[in-house]
Amino acid sequence: MTATITTTTQELSLGTGENASKLTLAGNELLVERVADKKWPRARVLLRNVLWAGLEDDTFELSALAKKKRTSPLRLLHVTGRVADEHKAAVAAFADALMAAAYPALPRQRRLKVFVNPKSGPGKAAGLYRRVIEPVFRAARCDVDLTFTSYSKQAQEIVETLPLDKYDAVVVMSGDGLIHEVFNGFAAHAEPTKAFRIPVSPIPSGSGNALAINLLGLEDAKDISVAAVNAIKGRPMPIDLFSMTQGGKRYISFMSQSLGLIADLDLGTEHLRFMGGQRFLVGFIYGVIRHRACPVKVSVKLVNTDKHQMLQDMHAARAQTETTYNALSTSTLNAPQEAGAESESTALPPLKYSEADSEGWVTFDRPLDYLYAGKGPYVSADVLQFPVSLPTDGLIDVALQERTTRVAMFKAIDGSQRGDHYWMPTQHYFKAHAYRVEPSTSKGWLSIDGEAYPLEPYQVEVHQGLGTLLSMYGSYQLDFDYTPDKP
């Protein structure tokens, strides 16, 4: 066994002959070469995917995630080797350098409260957790407190009394519904402000998985191992949350609220969960064929209606955030957040807008096909609904789809993943501080983060930066540059 260290490249060799392994650290990669492994003799590992490296007693151990092929999912890779006494100092130095590069100003061995919903989406979450996610957390030496949920709102009940100093993050392996439970559990906690500063990290296993897609991007969200890495190495990213008030009660929403066609295709397709995300497409087609109107009165606390300006603002904010995020080596974003760091208050933020408030509100009274409001660009892998959404602009994106033809709605399907419907003349898109809805009927669906609520009058307002997620980028991951020619 030998260890070689240079100024630009660090190399470590373990074993001899057919049992030899060589590790080379250069740039943002670790090259792993193993002579004895005929099926996977060479692996290039991004430093982001190095989970652990260390010398314990006389054994060196490396755990990382890598791809056998460019298009294959990440797989766990382990390298171990015995180390003689005379080489221990050099090997320990290599391990320390590798861990410092793999965890730049990041905490190691996070303490994770993990919720897994075995019934989410196609119903494969429990098996995927045991087979894929659990070994990754174990390899990173995370301290995991695991709960498999067995009934509705169980996660919310647990979070309401969660000992906040015991965990660094809450990991949710489910669809978006269980995340809704967690945030509402934080709201009901004895110290809600402190609770909301605990980052939430999703691992997609539901039908929509919007939050995971927005944090990881369309491609990486397909690989749940990447989501596990985000839980291990993501940095706290503040996000806006919403208060939805209805019938004297207050609820927290983190993603979306919908009425009409969109709510119908979401809540009306629960019996098609076995289809995964395809159930939404089936629901959309069925809803367009039925072509039912959405009879509501919508009032908006308006900020911006210029779609081109919103697009420019999105790109500018994203560029600034990512530059700052990537350049940070030490900051409050990189360190565990402390209780009371942002506010001395232990209560939820007060509501700003009463039903009697009318200044700055605009009423939209044209016939609608649907209302869709929320935070985060993607609402599913197939629909880029809010392409100019920003995590902490203090605003909610409100899309009102004016009544149009079946043909126009079917055409919108083709470009939904690209966000083409954003530019439809009949899709009225607003940035707002708040909005309120008065339905003219109680028959129909109201979807809040994919959960069913009574179709009754309600109001939504924004709380800037109230929530916290884990992110490896500091911004939503999407590609939305298309701008039609201005008239």
Give residue-wise pLDDT tens across range 272-295: 555 555 555 655 665 565 657 678
Query: What CA–CA distance (Å, rounded) separates 454 from 322?
Result: 39
Q: Which amino acid is at 450?
A: G
pLDDT band at 484 (very low <50, low <70, confident <90, very high): low
Q: How many CB atoms neighbour CB 213 within 10 A?
A: 27
**Confidence check: pLDDT of 486 > 70:** no
Query: What CA–CA distance (Å, rounded) separates 238 from 224?
Result: 22
Query: What CA–CA distance (Å, rounded) separates 144 from 303?
Result: 43
**Confidence check: pLDDT of 238 > 80:** yes
pLDDT for position 277: 53
Q: What is the torsion angle, in degrees rounded to the nearest 10, for the CA atoms of residue 364, residue 370, residue 373 and residue 376?
A: -140
| Structure tokens given for 323 | 């530059």
Q: Which residues are paired to 31 by β-bridges?
A: 24, 44
Q: Pick 85 or 276 by higher pLDDT.
A: 85
Token pair 């030496």 in the structure block, residue: 141
Give residue-wise pLDDT tens across range 121-143: 778 999 999 999 999 999 999 99
Lowest-pLDDT range of 23-37, 110-124, 325-339, 350-364? 325-339
Q: CB–CB of 32/77 below 8 Å?
A: yes
Please compute the mean of the pLDDT values over residues 36-55 and round it to a whole number.
94
Query: What CA–CA distance (Å, rounded) separates 118 from 151?
Result: 10
CA-based nearest residue to 304, from 243, 385, 371, 362: 362
Q: Pick 300 or 7 by higher pLDDT.
A: 300
pLDDT band at 55 (very low <50, low <70, confident <90, very high): very high
**Confidence check: pLDDT of 88 > 50:** yes
Q: At what angle do helices 278-290 and 406-414 cross, to 10 degrees?
A: 160
pLDDT for position 282: 58
Please compute the mean of the pLDDT values over residues 312-326 and round it to a whole number.
87
Please compute the mean of the pLDDT values over residues 356-379 and round it to a whole number.
90
**Confidence check: pLDDT of 53 > 70:** yes
Lowest-pLDDT range of 170-184, 219-233, 329-343? 329-343
Whole-Å CA distances, 257 to 127, 445, 455? 31, 11, 12
pLDDT band at 337 (very low <50, low <70, confident <90, very high): very low
**Confidence check: pLDDT of 31 > 90:** yes
pTM: 0.90
**Confidence check: pLDDT of 46 > 60:** yes
pLDDT for position 175: 87
pLDDT for position 120: 86
Token pair 């232990």 in the structure block, residue: 346
Lowest-pLDDT range of 120-124, 174-178, 197-201, 423-427? 120-124
**Confidence check: pLDDT of 38 > 80:** yes
**Please, what is the Cα angle at 119 between 118 and 120, to 5 degrees?**
100
Give residue-wise pLDDT tens across range 422-456: 999 999 999 999 999 999 888 888 999 989 999 99
Q: Residue 222 CA to chain centroid, in angstroms?
A: 13
Please compute the mean of the pLDDT values over residues 243-272 and round it to a whole number.
83
**Confidence check: pLDDT of 21 > 70:** yes
**What is the rounded radius of gyration, in angstroms, for the C-alpha atoms of the chain?**
24
pLDDT for position 287: 58
Query: What CA–CA distance (Å, rounded) separates 240 from 39?
Result: 47
Average pLDDT value over all residues in the chain? 87
Q: CB–CB of 157/185 below 8 Å?
A: yes
Among residues of the chain, what percentage have pLDDT more than 70? 87
Please compute the mean of the pLDDT values over residues 223-234 and round it to a whole number.
98
Q: Which residues are paired to 5 by β-bridges?
A: 10
Lowest-pLDDT range of 8-12, 103-107, 230-234, 377-381? 8-12
